Structure 1
Amino acid sequence: FKTVRVNLQAFAHMDEAGRLDPDWLGTLDRVVDAALASDLNVILDEHDFQACGVDAQGCRTKLLAFWRQVAPRYRQRPASV
Structure 2
Amino acid sequence: MVNLQAAHGQGRKGGTPAALNDDEIDNTRQMVVRTDRKAKIIASMHGIKISTLYKYFPRGRATLSHSKAAKGDKGS
TM-score, with length taken from structure 1: 0.35
More strand by share: 1
> Of the two structures, which has the highest relative contact order with CA contacts closer than 8 Å and spacing of 6 or more?
1
* Greater percentage in helix: 2
